[in-house]
Structure 1
Amino acid sequence: MAIKISIIMLTYNRAHYLPMAIDSVFSQSFSDWELIVVDGGSTDDTENLIKNYQDKDSRIVYIRKDKVLGISKCRNVGLNLAKGEYIAVLDSDDIWCDKEKLAKQLDFLLKNSDCFLVGGGVIVIDEHGVEKSRYLHAITDEEIKKQILLRNQFAHSAVLYRRDKAQAVGGYALDVKIGEEYDLWLRMGRFGTFYNLKDYVVNYRIHNQGACVVDRLGGALDTLKIIKKYRHNYPNYFLAWIKAILRMGYYLWLKFTDRFRF
């Protein structure tokens, strides 16, 4: 029987969090899936941990890439290996908190052939699993497309999308270091509709160490490039451009003040 959903999980030295992520996949009520774990060359116990899971369940596929490929290339490795008609993403430090996530999202896509991508609400947790905040994005296609240049309306670990539609627009962009999924959504949205469930579907983990200022500056620059690329496809470009410029200015200021800090 053909696999319905392929779940792509990228990981690197996250053996501590992996069991929680993988167990949340096993907890899903929908079971016609494969889990593709793409390991970027972990030096901890990740490989042994995954192989232990493989011994118990043949639905798990483990791919190890010792050479540093970058996030987009690793995501494309998973996408190109996927056998499922639909793609879900779960980063290895996140947890699906709704056992009906896959079932509800698949049901929506099956009933709405024009919809390419469906997401859901996000619960933000810290390194210890303590909830810090929660939020819902815009729900309908019209609302999402009004706001998507101002802010990405989909958390990556919250989505389910059509594999053929993602591959038809080229998969994850290799020229984007931060925000590769955002660029993919914007390409897909030119040809199909979006939707977000009103349910909270994922615990999204943030880490205290966060990204360095240089990484954040690079992310802001990538965001500016992305919104400029799709300025003719979605509304509110000018407001989004101002927001991105202000964000870049803020990180430049942080970088400058850090350099002269005694």
Structure 2
Amino acid sequence: MALVSIVTPAFNASKSIAKTVASVQAQSYSDWEMIIVDDCSKDGTYQLALDLSQQDERIKVHQLKTNQGAAAARNFAIEQAKGRYIAFLDSDDRWLPKKLETQLGYMENNNVAFVCSGYDVVNVDGTKIAEFMPPKRASYYDLLRTCSVGCLTAMYDTQVFGKVMMPLIKRRQDYGLWLELLRKGGECHGIQEVLAQYSIGGGSLSQNKFKAARYQWYVYRQVEKLPLLRSCYYFVTYCVNGLLKYRN
């Protein structure tokens, strides 16, 4: 079996991280390591994560010396990763039990290096609000039009790509990573099955979209270095697709 390294940034996640960890421990595929990087939480998240790691040696816990944001925390975890495959799971989201088994089987059977899947959008109490299903294939140019890769479902093969880091920006850093992977060639394969639950916390989908839009433009201009007119074109398509992204 191939080791999967699970990247989990954590900040003030004491109310959710135990359930997140439990969803990983419930996986039907057991050859994994979960790398939790605490970004200087103030609510006891770090100690709670340490307690969980003492009960399961597959859980590795680190703490940044200063608060640096999710991108830095994820990159630190990627640097520490020992697995062939890199997967991502934030400290307030959860996986369904066959997430890893399903994705690894697909990758190995189809010789694919980058996959994602569908996921449910849920409230903090677990009530389903919407569902997102990615396209079966997405190229670099497809992803410029809309981000169809949910971070909590993404997984890539380091034997193909090497360890690829996220751009150090406040938001949309995962989107920057997906673009970097696809710029190297190939496609992201979207498994047509819900394999995770994305929690929106106290916010709303519309609020999240508004905040993301500002950083979407930043990615176009400052990370991807796209010309102004191309950036405008892709931003308009992103906004239109964003209105249609989730299914109730």
Task: Indicate whether the TM-score tops 0.5.
Answer: yes
Equivalent of residue 123 in structure 2, options 123, 126, 141: 126
Partner of 1:225: 218
In structure 2, relative to structure 1, the CA distance for the partners of 1:218 and 1:204 (3 Å cut) is closer
Partner of 2:172: 179
Partner of 2:137: 140
- CA deviation vs aligned residue, 1:183-241 (integer Å, no higher than 9, x gap): 11111112232101111011100022469x8x977642331232352759xxx966423
CA contact (8 A) 1:3 1:83 kept: no
Partner of 2:158: 163
Return the alpha-carbon distance in structure 2 between the equivalents of residues 26 and 83 of structure 1.
18
Indicate the larger mover: 219-228 or 132-141: 219-228
RMSD: 2.9
- CA deviation vs aligned residue, 1:104-145 (integer Å, no higher than 9, x gap): 1111222333x331011010001221111112011124xx55
Equivalent of residue 106 in structure 2, options 108, 115, 134: 108
Task: Give matches, 1:42-121, under 5 Å.
Answer: 42-97=41-96, 99-113=97-111, 115-121=112-118
CA contact (8 A) 1:102 1:160 kept: no
User: What is the TM-score when the length of structure 2 is the normalising length?
Assistant: 0.84
The offset of 1:73, in angstroms, is 1.3
Return the alpha-carbon distance in structure 2 between the equivalents of residues 138 and 238 of structure 1.
23
Larger Rg: 1
Identity in percent: 25
Which amino acid in the other structure matches residue 241 of structure 1? F
In structure 2, relative to structure 1, the CA distance for the partners of 1:216 and 1:118 (3 Å cut) is closer
CA contact (8 A) 1:123 1:134 kept: yes
CA contact (8 A) 2:140 2:179 kept: no
SS of the residue corresponding to residue 30 of structure 1 reads coil
SS of the residue corresponding to residue 189 of structure 1 reads helix
Return the alpha-carbon distance in structure 1 between the equivalents of residues 147 and 234 of structure 2.
11
The offset of 1:3, in angstroms, is 6.0
User: In the alignment, does 2:187 pair up with 1:205?
Assistant: no
Task: Give matches, 1:31-46, under 5 Å.
Answer: 31-46=30-45
CA contact (8 A) 2:95 2:197 kept: yes
Return the alpha-carbon distance in structure 2 between the equivalents of residues 173 and 217 of structure 1.
20
The offset of 1:243, in angstroms, is 4.4
In structure 2, relative to structure 1, the CA distance for the partners of 1:216 and 1:68 (3 Å cut) is farther
User: What is the TM-score when the length of structure 1 is the normalising length?
Assistant: 0.80
Partner of 2:235: 241
Return the alpha-carbon distance in structure 1 between the equivalents of residues 225 and 84 of structure 2.
27
The offset of 1:165, in angstroms, is 4.7
Return the alpha-carbon distance in structure 1 between the equivalents of residues 108 and 203 of structure 2.
40
Which amino acid in the other structure matches residue 94 of structure 1? D
The offset of 1:242, in angstroms, is 2.4
Q: How many residues align?
A: 236
Return the alpha-carbon distance in structure 2 between the equivalents of residues 134 and 246 of structure 1.
18
CA contact (8 A) 1:122 1:204 kept: yes
Unaligned runs of 5+ in 2: 242-248
